[in-house]
């Protein structure tokens, strides 16, 4: 009967070893001990099997049988020591510990005990019977087992609170079962089931006590948390870096634009244009890196709102015209007449997508035409916009089409080296289109031209009021004069104040400067203004706090306040509108945006 137990134990142990070692598991003291227990148990079963067979067979020499039995007893000693180490781990390990106190010392003591037992095993008397053995060596193991079980039970109950419940029960069950079996085996020595019971407990431990996959998931979760923290730190770093870079850029752009208005000296004009071009590419790069890092950190959110379609498309055409400068390119525009007047979607992202395609067409076309087409298909409240931008430019080689949307990838660098670019535009465009559940495709013939087509859905909005909130921006027109309108500019940075004053110069407004929220509040006590440009990031009192106090102290406060900030992380506009600002103006100040805002509030 004992033989059946040994054979089935052998079967389970082999399977368990195969399964355990074929899987990846965490490398810890606990798993190492568990792995040794598994291996040792298999060896024990083989030894027990052979010593049983040899003991019952008359053809095998007594010496061989004795060696097998002694090895088997040694195995039992090894198992006791390993199990003691395992109990020590589960009793004294806390989840944060990388190293368990005194564990290495205990391991060394166990090795010493094992070697002493191995030597003692050679000399200790042993009597062999048919199928079992007795004598001093066997008594010694029984004694050690009883001592170990006592120690295990004591430690388990003493550390009851620390031990995880699922570990506690099977081990106590094993100790009790092993105790009972030892007593039975002592009175019926041929009933050899001890090793099979050990297999059974290791089997239970595999599923309920020590599940390496669960530990792997725990470790992975920890790693994920770490990665998320790092990514958050990266986004925060980028946000502050953007702020830091945008502040001096604001000054560079403001003053060089001022030079264009102030001087007629050709050399200075030419240099100022170079400075403006370089600053604008730097700004584009900062914005691109910000966008891509936001997308990769899954922080990019769409902010849908109702918008005026015609005004939006017209403003894009106007921007494209200014970017064309004096290139000999014909800009053809065709918008489907059926496009609803008002749509619901993230208009700033839609503009970003289209502007990227138009800008690329302009950059990579020397002469010929650029065709900007928008068609629409309306189905219920869904409006599918089909936007296409075609050019007669450089074209893209077939083998390069796949690389087009990878970040920081620029094609044909030998030809395009003089064209400013970061290789981020199309990567961002594609991600934005995908976020809007749309599709982007490219058709291109090298040397002939390219066509980028974007299809995405927006929501239909019933058009009740045809009057536009923001009239389309007409560029290249002389700036409007807002004579005698009073504007208060608040910024802690003197250079920024000068820049704001300079860009407002052509509008003939009266500007007052304040270097802090406190100063602004003082000025507002005695004077009235038509508009306030209020920087947010100021020491002591931020723009948000200043505005809050102004509104709390004077419930009648009705001067329009525009948030002026270099913090260009997406979603900022919405944040400032929620904080009670009437508009948002990013630094470096964009002339077109400034014109729109002045038109909105000073008309
Ligand atoms: P960037 O224009 O800043 O280099 P993009 O991601 O917008 O980066 O474009 C990646 C590359 O794809 C460009 O460097 C250019 O080689 C190529 N490309 C993009 N649009 C066009 C186009 N309309 N015609 C020809 N090549 C283009």
Q: What is the pLDDT of residues 12-45, one digit of tens each?
A: 899 989 988 887 776 778 888 888 999 999 999 9
Q: What are the helix (H) ranges across 458-584?
A: 494-504, 517-526, 543-553, 572-578
Residue 55 has pLDDT above 80, yes or no: no
Determine which residue's CA is closest to atom 17 belonging to ligand 1. 411
The string of pLDDT tens digits covering residues 469-487 is 444 444 444 567 888 899 9
Ligand 1 center to 363 CA (angstroms): 8
Specify whether the CB–CB gap between 251 and 496 falls below 8 A: yes
Give yes or no for residue 416 CB within 6 A of ligand 1.
Answer: yes
Cα–Cα distance measured from residue 309 to residue 555, given in angstroms and rounded to the nearest whole number: 36
At residue 456 the predicted structure's pLDDT band, cuts being 50, 70 and 90, is: very high
Q: Which of 64-68, 159-163, 403-407, 571-575 has the lowest mean pLDDT?
A: 571-575
Ligand 1 touching residue 392 (CB < 6 A)? no
At 466 the pLDDT is 45
More confident residue, 140 or 60: 140
CA of 20 to the centre of ligand 1 (A): 52
Model pLDDT, residue 382: 93
What mean pLDDT do residues 298-309 have? 85
Calpha distance 187→18 (Å, rounded) = 36
Q: Establish whether residue 284 lines the binding site of ligand 1, counting it when its CB lies within 6 angstroms of any ligand atom.
A: no
pLDDT at 597: 92
Report the SS3 class of residue 482: coil
Question: In angstroms, what is the span from residue 239 Cα to ligand 1's centroid?
Answer: 26
Cα distance between residue 254 and residue 590, in whole Å: 9
Task: Report which ligand 1 atom has the smallest distance to the Cα of 284.
Answer: 3
Instruction: Band the pLDDT of 290: cuts 50, 70, 90.
Output: confident
**This prediction's pTM:** 0.54
Instruction: For 572-596, write each residue's pLDDT tens digit.
Output: 778 889 999 999 998 888 888 898 9
Nearest partner of 310 among 333, 277, 330, judged by Cα: 333
Q: Which residues of 283-307 are buried (b: 16+ CB within 10 A; e: fewer)?
A: bbebbbbbbbbbbeeeebeeeeeeb
Question: Residue 470: what pLDDT?
Answer: 47
| CA separation for the pair 534, 560 (Å, rounded) | 10
Confidence band for 79, pLDDT divided at 50, 70 and 90? very high
CB of 121 closer than 8 Å to CB of 74: yes
Q: Is 505 in the pocket of ligand 1 (CB under 6 A)?
A: no
Atom of ligand 1 nearest to the CA of 407: 6
Q: Is the pLDDT of residue 95 over 60?
A: no
450: CA distance to ligand 1 center in Å?
Answer: 10
Taking only the tens place, the pLDDT of each residue in 404-444 is 998 877 887 777 767 777 788 999 999 999 999 999 999 99
Mean pLDDT calculated for residue range 93-122: 82
Instruction: Tell me, using a 6 A CB cutoff, whether residue 422 lines ligand 1.
Output: yes
pLDDT in tens, 143-154: 998 999 999 999
User: What was the pLDDT predicted at 427?
Assistant: 93
389 lines ligand 1 (CB under 6 A): no
In this prediction, residue 467 carries a pLDDT of 45
What is the average per-residue pLDDT within 36-60?
Answer: 83
CA distances 261 to 130, 237, 252, 503, Å, are 112, 36, 15, 10
Q: Name the closest-CA residue to atom 7, ligand 1.
A: 425
How would residue 459 be classed by pLDDT, with cut points 50, 70 and 90? very high
What is the position in ligand 1's atom list of the atom closest to the CA of 426?
A: 6
Distance CA 533, CA 540 (A): 18
Mean pLDDT of 65-70: 84
CB of 42 within 8 A of CB of 74? no
CA of 473 to the centre of ligand 1 (A): 27
What is the distance in A from the centroid of ligand 1 to the CA of 356? 9
Cβ contact 259:279 at 8 Å: no
Distance 588 CA to ligand 1 centre (A): 25
Instruction: Find the 282 Cα to ligand 1 centroid distance in Å.
Output: 17
In the predicted model, what is the mean pLDDT of the chain? 85
C-beta 364 within 6 A of ligand 1: yes
Q: How far is the CA of 322 from the centre of ligand 1 (A)?
A: 19
Q: Closest Cα to residue 44, out of 172, 177, 194?
A: 194
Q: Contact 588/279 with Cβ under 8 angstroms?
A: yes
Tell me the CA–centroid distance for residue 423 and ligand 1, in Å.
7
Closest-CA residue, ligand 1 atom 19, reads 360
The vertex-86 CA angle with 83 and 89, nearest 5°, equals 155
* The pLDDT of residue 209: 52
């Amino acid at each position: 009967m004992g033989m059946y137990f040994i054979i089935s134990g052998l079967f389970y142990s082999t399977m368990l070893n195969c399964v355990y070692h074929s899987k990846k598991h965490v490398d810890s003291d606990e798993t190492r001990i568990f792995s040794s227990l598994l291996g040792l148990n298999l060896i024990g079963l083989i030894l027990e099997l052979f010593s049983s067979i040899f003991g019952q067979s008359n053809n095998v020499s007594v010496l061989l049988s004795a060696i097998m039995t002694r090895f088997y007893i040694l195995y039992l000693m090894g198992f006791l020591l390993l199990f003691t180490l395992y109990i020590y781990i589960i009793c004294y390990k806390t989840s944060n510990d990388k190293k368990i106190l005194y564990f290495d010392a205990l391991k060394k003591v166990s090795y010493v005990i094992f070697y002493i037992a191995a030597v003692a095993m050679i000399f200790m008397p042993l009597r062999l019977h048919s199928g079992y053995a007795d004598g001093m060596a066997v008594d010694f193991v029984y004694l050690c087992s009883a001592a170990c079980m006592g120690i295990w039970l004591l430690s388990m109950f003493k550390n009851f609170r620390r031990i995880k419940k699922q570990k506690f029960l099977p081990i106590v069950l094993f100790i009790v079962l092993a105790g009972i079996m030892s007593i039975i085996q002592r009175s019926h020595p041929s009933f050899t089931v001890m090793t099979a019971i050990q297999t059974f407990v290791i089997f239970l431990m595999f599923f309920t006590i020590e599940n390496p996959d669960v530990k792997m998931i725990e470790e992975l979760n920890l790693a994920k948390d770490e990665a998320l923290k790092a990514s958050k730190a990266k986004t925060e770093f980028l946000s502050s870096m953007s702020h830091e870079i945008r502040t001096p850029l604001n000054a560079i752009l403001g003053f060089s634009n001022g030079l264009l208005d102030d001087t007629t000296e050709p050399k200075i004009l030419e240099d100022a244009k170079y400075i403006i071009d370089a600053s604008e590419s730097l700004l584009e790069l900062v914005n691109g890196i910000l966008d891509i890092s936001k997308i990769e950190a899954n922080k990019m959110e769409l902010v849908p709102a109702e918008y005026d379609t015609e005004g939006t498309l017209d403003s894009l055409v106007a921007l494209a015209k200014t970017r064309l400068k004096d290139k000999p390119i014909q800009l053809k525009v065709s918008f489907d007449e059926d496009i609803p007047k008002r749509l619901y979607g993230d208009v700033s992202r839609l503009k970003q997508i289209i502007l990227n395609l138009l800008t690329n067409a302009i950059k990579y076309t020397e002469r010929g035409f650029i065709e900007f087409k928008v068609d629409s298909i309306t189905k219920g409240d869904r409006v599918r916009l089909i936007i296409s931008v075609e050019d007669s430019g450089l074209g893209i080689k077939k083998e390069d089409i796949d690389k087009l949307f990878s970040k920081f990838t620029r094609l044909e660098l030998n030809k395009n080296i003089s064209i400013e670019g970061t290789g981020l535009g199309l990567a961002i465009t594609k991600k934005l289109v995908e976020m809007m559940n749309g599709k982007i495709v490219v058709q291109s013939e090298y040397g002939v031209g390219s066509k980028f087509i974007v299809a995405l859905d927006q929501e239909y909005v019933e058009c009740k009021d045809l009057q536009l909130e923001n009239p389309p921006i007409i560029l290249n027109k002389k700036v409007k004069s807002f004579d005698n309108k009073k504007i208060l500019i608040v910024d802690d940075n003197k250079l920024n104040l000068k820049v704001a004053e300079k860009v407002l110069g052509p509008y003939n407004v009266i500007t007052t400067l304040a270097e802090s929220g406190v100063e602004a509040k003082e000025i507002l006590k005695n004077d009235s203004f038509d508009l306030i440009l209020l920087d947010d990031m100021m020491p002591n009192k931020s723009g948000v706090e200043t505005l809050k106090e102004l509104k709390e102290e004077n419930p009648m406060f009705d001067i329009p306040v525009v948030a002026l900030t270099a913090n260009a992380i997406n979603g900022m506009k919405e944040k400032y509108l929620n904080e009670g600002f009437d508009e948002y103006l990013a630094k470096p100040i964009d002339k077109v945006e400034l014109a729109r805002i002045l038109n909105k509030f000073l008309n």
